[in-house]
Chain A
Amino acid sequence: MAFYVVQFLTGLASAASLFLVASGLSIIFGVTRIVNFAHGAFYMIGAYIAFTLTERLSGAFGFWGSIVLAAIAVALIGVLVEMVLLRRIYHAPELFQLLATFGLTLMVEDLVVLIWGPDDLVGRRAPGFRGAIDFFGQNIPSYDLFLIVLSPVVLGILWLLFQRTRWGVLVRAATQDRDMVAALGVNQKWLFTSVFAVGVFLAALGGALQIPRDAVHHAMDLRIIVEVFVVVVIGGLGSIVGAFVAAVLVSELNAFGILIFPKISIILVFLVMAVVLIVRPWGLFGKPEAPARKTPGLTVNPWRPLTSNERLMALAALVVAATLPLFAGNYALTVGSEIAIFVIFAVSLHFLMSVGGLASFGHAAYFGLGAYGVAFLAKMAGLPMIVCLLLGPLLGCMGAAVFGFFAVQLSGVYFAMLTLAFAQIVWSIAFQWVSVTGGDNGILGVWPERWAASPSHFYWLALGVAALVTVALRAMVFSPFGYALRATRDSLLRTEAIGINAKRIQWTAFVIAGTTAGIGGALFAYLKGSVFPDNLGISLSVDALVMVLLGGVETVSGAVIGAIVYKALNIWLVSQTDLSKLVLGGFIVLIVVVFPKGIVGMLEMLAQRRRKASPPGSPLLAKPIESAE
């Protein structure tokens, strides 16, 4: 019994940091509508700076002073980020903000290694809380007890801040209607900056308080951000009480999951999240969101099929690409194949995101399922390659059919979160079900047959499939199904009102996108000769998002270019520099700020402007687009 009590208390203690970081994320999202991916990075910097300060400043005052100083320092960094970067992109589509903060995260990951080195750093124990307390023969670290008391205190302070101060009233008002707050004479810019500072302060404090419990390392940002997303979604975006309850729930699930369901401990949390989202999509303490006011004219240039000239140009580009084996070496061809596969992957997500308006944060699940499908068929059933390639993606298709059915019941950020949860579930299964999937060791020896074994043959295969997939999806955009799908994207209610079963259309699109991603995954398995849980992982999902956004969300086929540029740059940077993440992150941030419409979107805009001298008022250049009345 005592053991369970101690386990419970350990869970409560881990909830403290989680709650601090999650409440910060929630507050920032509430007002600025930015899902701050960099929140984990701020948490990590908080831990690193606190580590350095506690090493320099001695004594109890030095330790606690360091924790607070670190949080304040990171909050100031946050203010800088908000003013220099985020202020420029508040009016951009919300995914762009996510992309920018993701770029920031990449940069921070390299920067902390540059500054603090790659090794784990073990921090000082907290003065006054070094020992443990005996509880019926079980030890409870006294620092854990401190953390257990701390989180309700912070909750209380935040409650007072939001309910009892003018600043809190303004923040709550801005959460609901920021334009109206400005129309009452409140300077939104500073309100946003201050909210961001508070949110980042909480994240950094969460990180700083972790150092007596856990080593500081350069991957702690991604680990926490995923958990924080889960907490915020279960608790309800924008609700601080919700963040508290969910942080406790998640931490206890982690603490007891290992004891009770060791086999599924990792997915337990995500299962709970998926159930919450399905039953109560706005979270336990959140409020159902009013249908967002659509910005008309999001796509200023109406989509059109390619003209015959453009078709010839695309064909010419394909022919040029097909000549690569004539002069390139094996390495270049392997890179080429990988890029072609990622074109398939990116195009499939682009179809779901840009055409269907459904931004999936877990698209890698279907890519990876396709890869595992191939690996199962090839290794266990021993089927020939062509059969595997045809049937493997069906696993992605089935996954998309099951998960998509639930996911399309939601929209916007919640859709993104649920897809993330599903992807995490699939990843955990692949990771934990060692007897079937090989777990972390993956499935090895999935090599192509002789006809496709040489790099040039495999390259042609990948290129051909990529071209086919792109053309097929593009044709679908301009088919009746594509019109219906775009209608659901632009207005779900109106689509239903003209007799279209919107959910079924979206579900179909989800399955199409998932299957297509599966095709990419199937080829990827053969390219690498192996399959690993990473093929379903979050970072791959994020890669796909970056490729789509880089190409341009508002374009028909920008993802093709986005995938080529991103993947090529990525591979090249890794070979050139140890700081590839820093450069790539900086590049992403730059793209978001300078070319918010993506590469292809920007080219289209230039072409458009050359065709006709800009009309008066130049609507294309105007950044904010108001809702017409």
Chain B
Amino acid sequence: MQSRSDYFVPDGSYWPILGSIGMAALLGGFAASLHDSLVGTISMILGFGIIIFMLFGWIGQVINESETGTYNLQVDKSFRIGMGWFIFSEVMFFAAFFGALFYARQLSVPWLAGEGNNFWTGENLWPEFKSVWPLIKMPDTTNFTVPKGIIEAWEIPAINTLTLLTSGATLTYAHWSLMDENRSGLIGGLIATIILGVIFLGLQAFEYIEAYQHLDLKLTSGIYGSTFFMLTGFHGLHVTLGTIMLIVILMRAIRGHFKKDRHFGFEAVAWYWHFVDVVWLGLFIVVYWL
């Protein structure tokens, strides 16, 4: 290991403050646009642009520093710890939504139908309401969209499960190729992974269109629609981000970045991809299947 005093402490940087301005413009603008403010919408778009610019600049600088050998193994370890715990924080974010799903299925829906000591809740509020899952008919149907059906697990979602699991394998193949110094294997594996990711997203989009146009299954379809679209939606967003990250890694691989023993950028994206993979398995089992 290199001497500890070689630990790279960067000079001052404008990227973080730019990121903060972008974030404030994006989120503040979004909040304003929810209340029909044109300025808000403009600010939102501007903020999004600033964030994209910031990400390109900041990550570009990091890649540059990495390629010029600025980072020693100790810095590399900081990055690993950082990425690992960032993914854990993402796990906890999804946990909140999985928690909401379990709460609705196990507690609130049965209670609304009068289970346990809640007999009078059911009797007084919505006496007709029956506790079933998937919850097609919500207690009060006037304000919500009643779906005609739900997405069946063993159709598109099963194909998507297969797609994502395969993409995990192709990514691991790319990783092994990198460690064997087989550049074409690395690039091929990455391309395959990206294609599988795009197929997944395409199928997911198709499924959403199907749900909205034919099944009337919408975000507004009571707690079933809420949990279904929020969980799969946030997952889809993460797959999108993961695919973009994989494309960056692919371009770096084509330019000859990454060595067989030093390739944190690749590994970080691989960890992230496996994380979205595992979340999907959870989704497939408890959202679609059971």
* A associates with B: no
